Amino acid sequence: MRMRKKRRLDARIEACSDLLIARGSPDPNLKKTEQEYRALVDYAQLFGRRAPVHLEVGCGNGGFVAEMARRFPEVDFVALEVCSNVILTAMERVKREGIPNVRFLNVPAEIVRCFLPEHSVERIYLNFSTPLPQKSREKQRLTSPRFLSIYRALLQQGGEIWQKTDSEEFFDYSLRMFAENGFACRDTARDLHHSGYAAENVVTEYERMFAEKGLPIFRTVAVLQN
C-alpha cells in the first residue's frame, strides 16, 4: 500500500534542515553518483565534537535511533532513510525532543559513501530491512555483496553490523553473505525476545508489530575481519 504524501512535506523537511546532511541523489544514476560525487561530512563540524559514529540504514520513523541516542549520549548517530515521507517523522521527533546527537541522510543507501568518509563508522544497524525474496532483486537487499562492500569501506577496523529481521529466509541469506564477504558473526539469536540479549534490545516500530503477532525476531552481530 502506497503511503499518502505528508502535508507540507518539503516545508517541514526544510524546517528540520539543521539536522539534515543531504537529501536525494545529485544524479538519478546511482552508480555514477557513487563513483563520482563526494560531499563528505566533517563530523566535528556536524556534531560539534568528535565521538564514535553509528549509522542506521533504513531508519524508518526513527523510534530506534532516537532511543539509542538517548541511551548512548557519548555516541553520534547518522540515520539514513530513502523515503522523505518517513524520515520526516524521524527528524521531527528528534527536533521536538531536542536530542543533540542524531543527524539525517535522506538518500538511498547505494550512495552513502558520497557523504560519510571511509573507515569512519564504528557500527551499522540494519533493522528489518526489506527482505526482497525475489531472485531478481537480490542486488537491492541491504546485505547483498554490493552493500557489504559499501559497508566494508565505511567501517573502521573491527567495525560491526547489527542486524535484526523477522524473515528467517533473509536472515539465513544474510548470515551466508556475511561469512562469504569478510565478516564473522557473533551473538546470533533466532528468538531475540526470549534470549539473553532481550534486556538491552531497543525495539523498532516494525519489530513491535511482528513481536505483537508472536513472531520470532532474528539477530546477529557481523564483525568486520581484517
Instruction: Give the shortest CB-118-to-ligand SAM separation in angstroms.
Output: 19
| Shortest spacing between CB 226 and ligand SAM, in angstroms | 28
User: Helix (H, G, I), strand (E, B), or coil: what is residue 187?
Assistant: strand
Considering only the stretches 6-14, 28-36, 81-89, 171-179, report the one whose residues sit in contact with ligand SAM under the rule CB under 6 A: 81-89
Q: Which of 206, 217, 219, 220 binds ligand SAM (CB under 6 A)?
A: 206
Q: Between 81 and 160, whose beta carbon lies closer to ligand SAM? A: 81
Reading the block at residue 148, the C-alpha cell is: 557489504
- Distance between CA atoms of 27 and 39, rounded to whole angstroms? 13
Number of residues that bind ligand SAM (CB under 6 A): 19
Stretch that binds ligand SAM, among 24-32, 39-47, 69-77, 121-129 (CB under 6 A): 121-129
Between CA 154 and CA 116 the distance in angstroms is: 7
- Residue 83 sits in the site that holds ligand SAM (CB under 6 A): yes
Among 30, 82, 202, 211, binds ligand SAM (CB under 6 A): 82
Alpha helices in the chain (DSSP H): 9-15, 30-36, 43-47, 63-71, 84-96, 145-154, 168-180, 205-212
Quote the DSSP letter at residue 193.
G
Nearest to 206 by CA among 217, 222, 198: 217
For 59, 91, 107, 126, the CA distances from 39, given in Å and listed in that order, are 21, 21, 13, 23
34 binds ligand SAM (CB under 6 A): no
> In terms of CB distance, is 3 or 39 closer to ligand SAM?
3
Residues at the interface with ligand SAM (CB under 6 A): 58-60, 80-83, 86, 108-110, 127-130, 204-207
